[in-house]
Structure 1
Amino acid sequence: MQLLSTEKKNAVLDSMMKIIENEKERIIEANQKDLNAFIRDDQALYDRLVVDEAKVTGMIQAIKEVRNQEDPVGNEISNITLDSGLNIINKTDPFGTILIIYESRPDVTIEAAVLAFKANNKILLKGGKEANESNIKLVECWHKALAENGLDKDWITLMQMNRQETQSFLMNPSQKLDLIVPRGGERLIDFVKQYAKCAVLISGRGNNFLYVAKDADWKKSVEVIVNAKTDKISGCNALDKVLIDENIPNFHEKVRELANVLQNSKVELLTDGKVSEVLKNQNKIGEEQVWYEEFLAMKIVLASTSSQEAAMEKINTYSGKHSSCIMTEDAEKAKLFMEQIDSAAVYHNASTRFTDGGQMGVGAELAISTDKLHHRGPLGLKQLVTNKYYVFGNGHVRK
């Protein structure tokens, strides 16, 4: 694969920002076709699909931020010269060709492509059929930006395939694939893992938990819970499960207060444990599977827990390993929780909604990885490279 100069890559991104600004109305019109065709039975999916002026402005800003970041390719990680005189340099290197499979969100067509391209990777974009018109228009913009700078359009390709065609492509790709990122639910992830012939980096489900310790600041806890649940229900960083320590002072009154606040925000409640004894009129969790479920809806589980240890065990058993939070005023309790919880992001007294590349200072992200190899958390520009060893000798042979 051709290694492009930083200047060439930035020139493409400069062109792209101008093109998107000029094509703003056409992009929104294309998106409106998708919205008109969408059967609005899934509010979270619909919210992800919408492209308005603010979304287009956000796309431009995402490109600008990546354009201004340091080029991640060719950076020296280490440089050593052995006693033998052999010089060994380890440098960052592009993956090659990345396939991302995602649902609904047309802004991923911008963010995934800008990150992959700046990191000198080709990218294949397999968006959901519900965003087809939007994605076609956005990739047309990418191709125009590439052409303006003398580059082939195959740097960024929109894959328009159904499930069967995608399966065939994964099993027998028509071109070399180096990395696949399935960005969606467990069914999509399992499907890709079953058929892929190259590395798969998992962008897992949310199903995020929050534990309220017995010494927690209650006012602070309520504010964090409401924000994490209601700020954006379609986000993978939204809150789904709350575990309240049954030893917290005035347990019954606090549970009722939290329930009232959430219901005033139109959140449906499910209960378990001693919370069910307090909120007798609310539905109880009917089956264990609910504990594994990512809701992507105005729905939340309120449950009791006997201790921090019990809460940590429950979270590590059922969560999506995305984001977990403890509300406590005890720094040692928070430290233990954050060390022992198996999640990509762990929080102390803060909303899980901050698990986001932009909010965490990473910038635009390809996905939130819940994998442990080769990176966990927001996949930003610096994470879209691998490494390569350059070994320089002078007729060296191993004896």
Structure 2
Amino acid sequence: MIDILDRRRDDIIKANKKDLELFDKSDRAMYDRLIVDDKKVDGMIKSVQEVMQQEDPVGKVKSEKNLDNGLKIQNKTAPFGTIMIIYESRPDVTIEAAVLAFKANNKILLKGGKEAIHSNIILEECWHQALEENNLDSDWIKLLHLNREETQAFLKKPTEKLDLIVPRGGERLIAFVKEHAQCAVLISGRGNNFLYVAKDANWEQSIKVILNAKTDKISACNALDKILVDTRIPEYENKIKELASILKDQGVSLVVDETIGQVLTTEAKIVEESLWYQEFLEMKCLIGAVASIEEAIAKINQYSGGHSATIMTQDQELAMEFMDQVDSAAVYHNASTRFTDGGQMGVGAELAISTDKLHHRGPLGLEQLVTNKYYVFGDGQIRV
């Protein structure tokens, strides 16, 4: 597969250009995710290399017991079977998701968005070529050519056994899958990530982290959307004005709550509460004020997507209180939310970032694409 991707990179980029030409460029975040260039193909190749070098996750003994009745019981990792992933825009998912599933002995059904159809078709061709060259069935990795209605019908009554569905996308996609799926669903939900600047935060460090988290890649699910500033921070008003000025200089539009609006009088105010729940995926940020860490934690747990949250503080105990109590898949102390990523966290290539709590939370890497089963060895034992 590595050789094929490298050999066919021009064909892959050419196919992607067809998708880009047909796409509405006004949706910048989705457009950014859709682009495949030489660097992106290199990233696909690297993903395959990384997974290839990882240890096989199947058949690992998780626990072992020898009972008084002579039974030997092992709990071992096992493949799920068939995984379906539903995703939008990103053709590199067609590589990363498939190589992870395949390495863990799972079949995978790829349901990409119509906006990436030309890119995904050629990437499926590459997979099938690699499988066939190794005398393997092409059904191990299959791209589904289904519209919305056909997808709904497939979820309600699959034409083959499905063991796990991973929807990667917005609230509507997740609700759609949960409504119609007949098997387990592992949610890769919205970002809507928060950063709390505590009263003792290193202000220069906070600005640096905020800028990275907000502006480094707006199309990523780990980008920053909401900033909460403690009103007890020294020179509160001056710092709020400085933060606003720096963000606006970087092209970030602002929305502010009532308290911040008393300082930033010309900025747009929050009109509807729903804005607190929204993942922006654009150069836009909401700044709110809180009077305590308890208020910050409560706000984050109420409105965030359960993805990533950061506290900026020099107080280790305060940081641990925040990290223990915030209900997110990844919690940070003095660091950017942009690190919530399989590669950055040492997991390697990822299928998705799970915001679910069963069976795993956070980056879904190779080790997370297995379930388990019990092996019980006996010698004629019967239960009495």
Q: Distance in 2 between matches of 1:173 and 1:215?
A: 55
2:71 corresponds, among 86, 93, 108, to 86
Q: How far apart are residue 100 of structure 1 and its match?
A: 0.1
Confirm or deny that 1:235 pairs with 2:220. Answer: yes
Can you list the C-alpha shifts for 1:160-196, whole angstroms capped at 9, x where unaligned? 1010000000000000000000000010000000000
Confirm or deny that 1:107 pairs with 2:56. Answer: no
Code of the aligned partner of 1:49: L
Code of the aligned partner of 1:84: N
Confirm or deny that 1:55 pairs with 2:43. Answer: no
Code of the aligned partner of 2:226: K
Code of the aligned partner of 1:106: P
Confirm or deny that 1:200 pairs with 2:180. Answer: no
Code of the aligned partner of 1:239: L
Match in the other structure for 2:366: 381
- Does the aligned pair in 2 maintain the 1:246–1:274 contact within 8 Å? no
Match in the other structure for 2:318: 333
Q: Distance in 1 between matches of 2:160 and 2:336?
A: 42
Q: Distance in 2 between matches of 1:111 and 1:336?
A: 35
- Does the aligned pair in 2 maintain the 1:273–1:305 contact within 8 Å? no
Q: Distance in 1 between matches of 2:205 and 2:260?
A: 20
Match in the other structure for 2:262: 277
Q: Distance in 1 between matches of 2:15 and 2:204?
A: 45
Q: Distance in 2 between matches of 1:214 and 1:79?
A: 50
Q: Structure 1: which 5+ residue stretches go unaligned?
A: 1-15
Q: Distance in 1 between matches of 2:2 and 2:121?
A: 17
Code of the aligned partner of 1:125: L
Q: How far apart are residue 273 of structure 1 and its match?
A: 3.1
Match in the other structure for 1:72: 57
1:154 corresponds, among 131, 139, 155, to 139
Code of the aligned partner of 1:375: H
Match in the other structure for 1:182: 167
Q: Distance in 1 between matches of 2:79 and 2:152?
A: 26
- Does the aligned pair in 2 maintain the 1:177–1:198 contact within 8 Å? yes
- Please give the secondary structure, in 1, of the residue aligned with 2:220: coil
Can you list the C-alpha shifts for 1:137-182, whole angstroms capped at 9, x where unaligned? 0000000000000001000000010100000000000000000000
Q: Distance in 1 between matches of 2:348 and 2:298?
A: 33
- Does the aligned pair in 2 maintain the 1:244–1:303 contact within 8 Å? yes
1:31 corresponds, among 13, 16, 20, to 16
2:296 corresponds, among 287, 291, 311, to 311
Match in the other structure for 1:8: none
- Does the aligned pair in 2 maintain the 1:213–1:245 contact within 8 Å? yes
Match in the other structure for 1:210: 195
Code of the aligned partner of 2:31: Y
Q: Distance in 1 between matches of 2:61 and 2:200?
A: 47
Code of the aligned partner of 1:396: Q
- Please give the secondary structure, in 1, of the residue aligned with 2:262: helix
Q: How far apart are residue 218 of structure 1 and its match?
A: 0.3
Q: Percent identity?
A: 67
Match in the other structure for 1:396: 381
Code of the aligned partner of 1:284: K
Match in the other structure for 1:117: 102
Match in the other structure for 1:129: 114
1:266 corresponds, among 224, 235, 251, to 251
Q: Distance in 1 between matches of 2:24 and 2:203?
A: 41
Q: Distance in 1 between matches of 2:349 and 2:102?
A: 13
| TM score, norm. by length of structure 1 | 0.96
- Please give the secondary structure, in 2, of the residue aligned with 1:203: coil
Correspondence 1:220-231 to 2 at 5 A: 220-231=205-216
Q: Distance in 2 between matches of 1:388 and 1:271?
A: 51
Match in the other structure for 2:234: 249
Q: Distance in 2 between matches of 1:47 and 1:130?
A: 12
- Structure 1 stretches (4+) deviating beyond 3 angstroms? none
Can you list the C-alpha shifts for 1:194-248, whole angstroms capped at 9, x where unaligned? 0000000000100000000000000000110011000000000000000000010
1:366 corresponds, among 329, 336, 351, to 351
Can you list the C-alpha shifts for 1:114-151, whole angstroms capped at 9, x where unaligned? 00000000000000000000000000000000000000
Code of the aligned partner of 1:257: E
Match in the other structure for 2:330: 345
Superposed CA RMSD in Å reads 0.5
Q: How far apart are residue 80 of structure 1 and its match?
A: 1.2
Report how many aligned residue pairs link the two structures. Answer: 384
Match in the other structure for 2:284: 299
Q: Distance in 1 between matches of 2:341 and 2:156?
A: 32
Q: How far apart are residue 274 of structure 1 and its match?
A: 2.1
Q: Distance in 1 between matches of 2:254 and 2:240?
A: 12
Code of the aligned partner of 1:41: S
Code of the aligned partner of 2:166: V
Q: Distance in 2 between matches of 1:203 and 1:38?
A: 24
- Please give the secondary structure, in 2, of the residue aligned with 1:214: coil
